[in-house]
Amino acid sequence: QGSWLVWPDFRLLMAFASTTESWTSSAANGVRVKSWWLFARAMACPMRFATRRGDLTLRVCGFFDSGAFTNSGVDLLNSQTTTREWLAAGPAIRLTLRLSTVIFMEIEPTLMIPITRWTFTYKNTATGPEQTLDQIRTVGQAVNFGLGYRFP
């Protein structure tokens, strides 16, 4: 409660995501890749800005991700599965709205800066050289939403 500026908050979380992506360029028409992404995130929010009653708070945070990124070709004659490390860090801002004495809602926009950036390639043995399909971006973004219960 209150409007203290220094009020540290620390979180650890794990996340998993899975997707299948298709490319339609002439070099890789119909190539599909299945991806799995598993990571752990350590987040620290050393400062907060709050209304006098503490119903609305804004926290300035930083995080570090570590995990694995696995890709596998789908419906290809000689598909390969590769797993590589995933490392990223970045800033976040967490806005928390207290709905009651025990229920709260959060929204948390983040900027993710990958430390490891992989290029995804495809080689059609019939047509020749390796083709670059995609590359992990220099900066990514996400917005996390949450509804929570604070035990009294």
> How far from 132 is each of 29, 69, 122, CA to CA, in Å?
13, 18, 6
C-beta separation of 9 from 48 below 8 A: yes
28: DSSP letter: T
Q: What is the pLDDT of residues 62-120, one digit of tens each?
A: 999 999 988 887 766 667 788 989 999 999 999 999 999 999 999 999 999 999 887 77
C-beta separation of 12 from 40 below 8 A: yes
Maximum average pLDDT range among 119-123, 131-135, 148-152: 148-152
Maximum average pLDDT range among 22-31, 44-53, 85-94: 85-94
